[in-house]
Chains A and B, each alone.
Chain A
Amino acid sequence: MLDIASASELPHVRIRASEPGPLIDIPELLRFRDLLWTLAERDLKVRYKQTALGVIWVVLQPLMAALIFAFVFGVIAGLPSDGEPYVVFAFAGMTAWNTFANVLTKVSASLLANGQMISKIYFPRLILPLSSVVSALVDSAFSLVLMFVMMAIYRVWPGWGIVFLPVWLLILVVLALGLGLMTSSWMVRYRDVAHVIPVVLQLGLFISPVAWSMTNTKLSERFLMVLRLNPLASLLEAFRWSLFGRNAPPLAALAYSLVVAIAVFWMGIMIFKQQERTFADVI
């Protein structure tokens, strides 16, 4: 499809009907990196324009969700929280979960939301999901800062495992991006997907150990195995282990999550690539 030969001074582009290009055209993405940042910036700017509290909403939303969880699960249901104050425990879960959910939600909507750009301008289409990841991660960064503030208030200190925190986040993002690439490509054709995602996320929020702990002794060994089929389970545990230094997930479970994340990402890229050429025609 496209090859850019640097033989002459002028860039040479060849458009061919049949040739598939590279799966990820990195030089082309690099040429458009300014667009990636500008779009992420637009997204952030627009989101909090004409709101009285502005950026405070970034931390207020997960904080309120954590407080509700703390009340419902911690106070009313009395679920154990691995020995941490329940709010801190739940907020850690929310931070990791929201990273996953925000990336997935934003990436999956990224093509449709910019349909006009897709049908009128050329740029590597992958820029759109990638810029959504950037803008979602900015929210996560704010949330993490608040996380550390809360830990300081409750005098919970992280151990050496904190250095792995970015690794767990990276795997979460890769998984979410992979799913997002698939769903965004499908959504161009079938708007139904947009209605399915919130429902699935709602379910995911409860079947993943966000508000509850995998170390809960009431759960049978077999049931835990089933719960660990969800690749998010051990990632959320690992995330909390990095913060609080307790209850590390089994390495095998983490390895499983990593493999699933990479497989999903690869599938996502494949599907995106396969559909990419027709985005402008069907959007």
Chain B
Amino acid sequence: MSSKKDLAVSVRGLSKSYVIAHNMNRPTNLREAIVDRFRHPLGNGGQDHEMFWAIKNMDFDIRAGEVVGIIGRNGAGKSTLLKILSRITWPTTGEIDIRGRVSSLLEVGTGFHPELTGRENVFLNGSILGMTRREIKQKLDEIVDFAGVEKFLDTPVKRYSSGMYVRLAFAVAANLDPEILIVDEVLAVGDAQFQQKCLGKMQDVARHAGRTILFVSHNMNAVLQLCERAILLHQGEVLMDGPAAEVMKSYVAEPEMGSVVDLVNHTNRDPSYPATLQSIAFFDSEGHPGTAFEPGETVVIKVFTKSARRIPNPQFSCAINNWRGERIFAVATYLSQSQVDYLEGSCVLVGRFELPNLVPGKYTLDIGLNEAHDTFIDVIYKAIALNVSPNDYLGVTHPFFPEMGSLMVRSEWEAFNEQTLVSGSGDQKSGLTYE
């Protein structure tokens, strides 16, 4: 193949299985048999084992210079894929060709030792990540500068604040100079400002240095900001591969576990309340089930309840939190003109509201049911996820960062020099004066 030259990564027929339950290996020789006996002195040694395929027959190519986001739910195989590409673990079948030096950041600060100073840890971590001492020496200033820890370079890192620690750890990683960079959720560290700095650094590397980047993240905005292409994994297989925005859209639209979420066996259910709230589901205004909505769309919530006794004057409330768990807004029967007289037996409560102009991303709903206004009947935190898909409310393509908050607000801007408008909308009627 003539195009083989510009492929940075080529994956063919890749599978990886793990053996779960006991007995990692059947005893094939005396040593293993003895060790096995040692482990299971009472068992017969030959317990059944279960194969789990973390990755199933995967094929894809990545051209040199591409920035590819790898997305998928927990357990989709993202981390396993990165581990195989990073040569940390081995595939069960298949083969991979990699052209170029690979650096993988599955974690920042691997090998950092609390007793060692910042400087010593930079050398340690750098060489763990595959840099030679000479390279590290050349980049030391840059690393220290990026992390902003000049004054503490000769202090043991155990005296560092956690922020400093993470910044130093990321700074080492960020100054690697590989042809292929594999990054797993590293942005989930540090404060929002530092996260943005890291994202910016990765963007620099991708755009200016022409590096190939494979980036796994749950942060949809980070993926959209960074990647032109995305690969959506589902249960160890490639479900979709294409332009990041398109893949992201179908990822967001993919219902969590069917569109109806069971509340009776919900992990966040407080067992001290009898399960009155049975299940919940979202629908759009046309009655199609889904969990992804655009700002301004009507969201229909259906809550199924079951109660042996009659609940008079029931009050249902539903609060929406952002990815940080901060409450954004709440809707409730008592915050509306509607009135529900009672619930008895199996009922379905249907509510509808117009989705505010939320920043795209994942939100969660806390739901609760009260009797009258005081007695709690049932409450479930993070009962269901609501995905807000991107739309062109602001009419711009600028990506969203966490520090932009949760609401999209339209605004207009002008700039003045003394009394003269130097830039802006061109509309001079504004009474603003620059002082």
Query: Across the interface, which residues of B come within 8 angstroms of A123, CB to CB?
Result: 128, 130
Interface residues of B in 105-120 (CB under 8 A from A): 106-107, 110-111, 113, 115-116, 120
Given contacts A35-B130, A46-B116, A120-B107, 13 further A-B contacts (CB under 8 A): A2-B87, A10-B99, A10-B100, A12-B97, A15-B87, A17-B94, A39-B124, A120-B106, A120-B110, A121-B104, A122-B86, A278-B24, A280-B89
Is the beta-carbon distance between A49 and B96 smaller than 8 angstroms?
A: no
A-B contact count (CB 8 A): 120
Whether the Cβ atoms of B24 and A120 lie closer than 8 Å is no
Q: Is the CB of B95 within 8 A of A14?
A: yes
Chain A interface: which size bin?
35 or more
Q: Does A72 contact B (CB under 8 A)?
A: no
A121 touches B128 (CB 8 A): yes
CB distance from B44 to the nearest CB of A (A): 18
Kindly identify, within residues 1 to 46 of chain B, every residue whose CB is under 8 Å from any CB belonging to chain A.
Answer: 5, 18, 24, 35, 38-39
Check if A17 sits within 8 Å of B92, measured CB to CB.
Answer: yes
Bound complex: CA of A17 vs CA of B91, how far in Å? 5
In Å, the complex CA distance between A204 and B129 comes to 39
Q: Which residues of B contact A17 (CB under 8 A)?
A: 90-95
- A42 touches which one: B86, B99, B101, B116 (CB < 8 A)? B116
- Sorting the interface of chain B by its residue count into under 10, 10 to 19, 20 to 34 or 35 or more gives 35 or more
- Residues of B near A42 (CB, < 8 A) are 113, 116, 120, 124
| Cross-chain pairs A/B with CB under 8 angstroms, 28 sampled | A2-B87, A8-B5, A11-B100, A13-B102, A14-B97, A15-B90, A15-B97, A16-B94, A17-B90, A34-B133, A35-B128, A38-B123, A38-B133, A45-B115, A46-B115, A116-B107, A117-B111, A117-B128, A118-B88, A120-B107, A121-B106, A121-B110, A121-B129, A122-B87, A122-B88, A277-B89, A277-B90, A278-B90
- Asked whether A216 is an interface residue with its Cβ less than 8 Å from the other chain, the reply is no
Please tell me if A281 contacts chain B, counting CB pairs below 8 Å: yes
Closest A residue by C-beta to B110: A120
Residues on the B chain within 8 Å of A34, using CB: 127, 131-133
Cross-interface CB contact of A50 among B86, B88, B115, cutoff 8 Å? B115
Contact status B133-A12, CB under 8 Å: no
Q: In the complex, A189 Cα to B86 Cα: how many Å?
A: 22
Q: B93 contacts which chain A residues (CB < 8 A)?
A: 17-18
Q: B116 to A45, Cβ gap below 8 A?
A: yes
Q: Which residues of B contact A241 (CB under 8 A)?
A: none
CB-defined contacts of B102 to chain A, threshold 8 Å: 13, 122
Name which residue of chain B comes closest to A279, CB basis. Answer: B89
Chain A residues with CB under 8 A of B95: 14-17
In the complex, the chain B residue whose C-beta lies closest to that of A32 is B130
Contact in complex: B115, A1 (CB < 8 Å): no
- Give the residues from 59 to 101 in chain B that come closer than 8 angstroms, CB to CB, to chain A: 83-84, 86-101
A119 on interface, CB distance cutoff 8 Å:
yes
Q: Is B297's CB within 8 Å of the partner chain A?
A: no
Instruction: Tell me the chain B residues, 126-143 only, with Cβ under 8 Å from chain A.
Output: 127-133
A10 to B156: give the CA distance in the assembly, Å. 38
CB distance from B370 to the nearest CB of A (A): 47
Question: 4 closest A-B pairs (Cβ-Cβ)?
Answer: A277-B90, A122-B87, A15-B96, A38-B127
Contacting residues, chain A, for B120 (C-beta < 8 A): 42, 45
A12 to B90, CA, bound (A): 17
Q: How far is the CA of A17 from the CA of B35 in the complex (A)?
A: 26
How close is A192's CB to chain B, nearest CB, in angstroms?
A: 6
Closest to B14 in A: A17
B256 near A: Cβ within 8 Å? no
Kindly provide the distance from the CB of B7 to the nearest chain A CB, expressed in whole angstroms.
11
Which residues on A sit within 8 Å (CB–CB) of B98? 12-15
Complex Cα distance, B29 from A221, in Å, reads 37
Closest to A49 in B: B115
* Closest partner residue, chain B, to A19 (CB atom): B95
A192 closest partner in B (C-beta): B38
* Interface assignment of B179: CB less than 8 Å from any CB of chain A: yes
* A212 interfacial by beta-carbon distance below 8 Å: no
Which residues on the A side are within 8 Å of B39 (C-beta)? Answer: 190, 192
Chain A residues, Cβ within 8 Å of B35: 186, 189-190
A76 in contact (CB, < 8 A): no
A27-39 vs B, Cβ < 8 Å mask (1 yes, 0 no):
0000010110011
Chain B residues 165 to 201 lying within 8 A of chain A, measured CB to CB, are 179
Residues of B within 8 A of A35 (CB): 127-128, 130
- A282 interface residue per 8 A CB criterion: yes
Complex formed: what's the CA distance from A116 to B132 in Å? 21
How many angstroms from the CA of A45 to the CA of B132 in the assembled complex?
Answer: 20
A2 to B100, CA, bound (A): 14
Q: Kindly report which residue of chain A lies nearest to residue B38, judged by CB atoms.
A: A192
